A and B are shown apart, each in its own frame.
Chain A
């Protein structure tokens, strides 16, 4: 187990390092790095300042050492678009909004996916099963950003139930959370369905039925508790996906989180902010993947020895 964790942790570090390498080289292979780092309207003193900050007058390997040293400390330079803010400071400032939205989206997707998944397994081959199939199929084929716009058009513009965009009370969160969570609904549902089918077929379920337990108790208490293990470990993956998915959803609903920050930064060519967000997100994404793998290996010993 320790060997497994060590191996996977090393691999994750490597992945983050590759990401930083990609960011570093991208800026430098495309010509003068200052042209990438600075927007068009920057003056000569901006060039001098940024050049000094990143040590651009030195050889490439020294530049990389400077970059890496600063990155480890969380220093990605100052934002161009948002004056007086460091890139990393902006990320920390926006992160809570993103986490809030992602958490709520996770909740929404579980609330939809769990009952439908269970019902489609219990009533295999009935209408519920078909409903589940349709949801799964739509989950794979609806573009999230378009779904967001459609929901906004129906529920905010035409029915006026929710505000169109921005951040505030819970009513601001519902449409973005559905948009962000929708993609996950299909995934969770399929997972719940298949593991429920497996559990429903096992001996202890037969026993509890023979004992005369009420059917709803068999299904919702005994089966679900056992079937939930596989989807539970999946949640960490979803958490990672939700983080990156927030980029799209936040820009549809103008949700003031990190996702919107990075899109605005790309539009304003604020490269310092872009690289900060990308490295932080990549770190979160890769670390959640690592956590899942460890959790899996802990729950299922077969994986450790593969």
Chain B
């Protein structure tokens, strides 16, 4: 006899909407769509989407309020800054700057950290203990101060920011990869690979590395938001990207002294940072739960 459940009853059909919603809820749809519209599309298609040049303004149109306020016009939907530059256009180009900085910094820092972590975990011994001391020290250095010294000495530029971020980021990856490598290298398939004559480099790159990729991916995603926050804080302090780069942090800094007269200058870029970082964090949490639940405490 067939079991009778809600599903087998002919008059019962699960509501379509609820069903679809349940499927949607399995994926972080909201954060993915926010990311697409606030970060990815503006960053990739900046020159096509932005209505104006982010660096050129006209002083005749300085400090126009957003469209819905009195004195604002649809020409500049989010208003203009003190040099008459369109805020929306600068924000769109700012997305590109943020994405670029975080991708480059995480890629370089991640690669460096992974290579060192693999070597350190695989070979162990003196190299390992030296490297792990270095990781401890580098994790205990105060972030912002390090950046300030570097900028005071070298001057603000894109490459200075990348160097600062890489110095701050590599240690996390090294520690993570080393830990995983220690566990993986004891497994049988590594011993078999050795017997089959695989070189150390081959074992590290072809056998161990693929097994740490998931963890790396989770850590990298979780760090994109952190890096965007850090970069904007540095830019805000004048220790990040130099003016007139359309960076979100710089735009907020420009609006700081105008807060009484022109709130919109700093408000919108801040919203963009918040939405981006928020959805990146949600996405990272989701990825972690699905790819690598043991990373809970990273």
Q: How far is the CA of A157 from the CA of B264 in the complex (A)?
A: 13
Query: Is there an interface contact between B142 and A252, defined as CB atoms closer than 8 Å?
Result: no
Known: A266-B148, A266-B151. A18 touches B274 (CB 8 A): no
Interface size on A, residues (CB 8 A): 51
Q: Is A66 in contact with chain B by the CB < 8 A criterion?
A: no
Known: A26-B154, A271-B152, A282-B141. A149 touches B266 (CB 8 A): yes
Query: Is there an interface contact between B273 and A146, defined as CB atoms closer than 8 Å?
Result: yes
Q: Mark B192-225, 1 if CB is under 8 A from A, else 0.
A: 0000000000000000000000000000000001
Q: Is B237 in contact with chain A by the CB < 8 A criterion?
A: yes
Query: Is there an interface contact between B144 and A145, defined as CB atoms closer than 8 Å?
Result: no
**Measured between C-beta atoms, what is the minimum distance from A226 to chain B in Å?**
22
Query: Is there an interface contact between A282 and B137, defined as CB atoms closer than 8 Å?
Result: no
Q: A36 to chain B: which residues have CB within 8 Å?
A: 152-153
Q: How far is the CA of A237 from the CA of B274 in the complex (A)?
A: 25
Query: Is there an interface contact between B256 and A252, defined as CB atoms closer than 8 Å?
Result: yes
Q: How far is the CA of A163 from the CA of B85 in the complex (A)?
A: 30
Q: A281 to chain B: which residues have CB within 8 Å?
A: 142, 145
Q: A252 to chain B: which residues have CB within 8 Å?
A: 256
Q: How far is the CA of A145 from the CA of B250 in the complex (A)?
A: 11
Query: Is there an interface contact between A30 and B140, defined as CB atoms closer than 8 Å?
Result: no
Q: Is B259 in contact with chain A by the CB < 8 A criterion?
A: yes
Q: B236 to chain A: which residues have CB within 8 Å?
A: 143, 145, 248, 251
**Option from B141, B260, B281 in Cβ contact (under 8 Å) with A137:** B281
Q: Is B239 in contact with chain A by the CB < 8 A criterion?
A: yes
Q: How far is the CA of A198 from the CA of B145 in the complex (A)?
A: 37
Q: State the majority secondary structure of interface residues on A.
A: helix
Residue of A nearest to B238 (CB): A267
Interface size on B, residues (CB 8 A): 43
Residue of B nearest to A280 (CB): B145
Q: A149 to chain B: which residues have CB within 8 Å?
A: 252, 255-256, 259, 266-267, 270
Q: Is B136 in contact with chain A by the CB < 8 A criterion?
A: yes
**Option from B140, B252, B278 in Cβ contact (under 8 Å) with A146:** B252
Which residues of A29-54 have CB atoms within 8 Å of chain B's CB atoms? 30, 36
Q: How far is the CA of A80 from the CA of B48 in the complex (A)?
A: 47
Which residues of A253-278 have CB atoms within 8 Å of chain B's CB atoms? 262-263, 265-267, 269, 271, 274-275, 277-278
Query: Is there an interface contact between B149 and A275, defined as CB atoms closer than 8 Å?
Result: yes
Q: How far is the CA of A266 from the CA of B260 in the complex (A)?
A: 26
Query: Is there an interface contact between A14 and B153, defined as CB atoms closer than 8 Å?
Result: no
Q: B55 to chain A: which residues have CB within 8 Å?
A: none
**Measured between C-beta atoms, what is the minimum distance from B258 to chain A in Å?**
10
Query: Is there an interface contact between B225 and A141, defined as CB atoms closer than 8 Å?
Result: yes
Known: A11-B133, A275-B149, A282-B145. A144 touches B274 (CB 8 A): no
Query: Is there an interface contact between B152 and A164, defined as CB atoms closer than 8 Å?
Result: no
**Option from A26, A144, A157, A286 in Cβ contact (under 8 Å) with B149:** A26
Q: List 22 A-B contacts (CB under 8 A).
A: A18-B137, A26-B149, A140-B277, A140-B278, A140-B281, A141-B225, A141-B281, A143-B232, A143-B233, A143-B277, A146-B252, A149-B270, A153-B263, A157-B259, A243-B142, A247-B237, A251-B236, A263-B238, A266-B148, A271-B153, A274-B148, A285-B140
Residues in chain B within 8 A of chain A (CB atoms): 133, 136-137, 140-146, 148-154, 225, 229, 232-233, 236-239, 249, 252-253, 255-256, 259-260, 263, 266-267, 269-270, 273-274, 277-278, 281-282
Going nearest first, the 9 A-B pairs with the smallest beta carbon separation are A146-B270, A141-B277, A141-B278, A26-B153, A285-B142, A244-B142, A274-B152, A15-B137, A278-B145
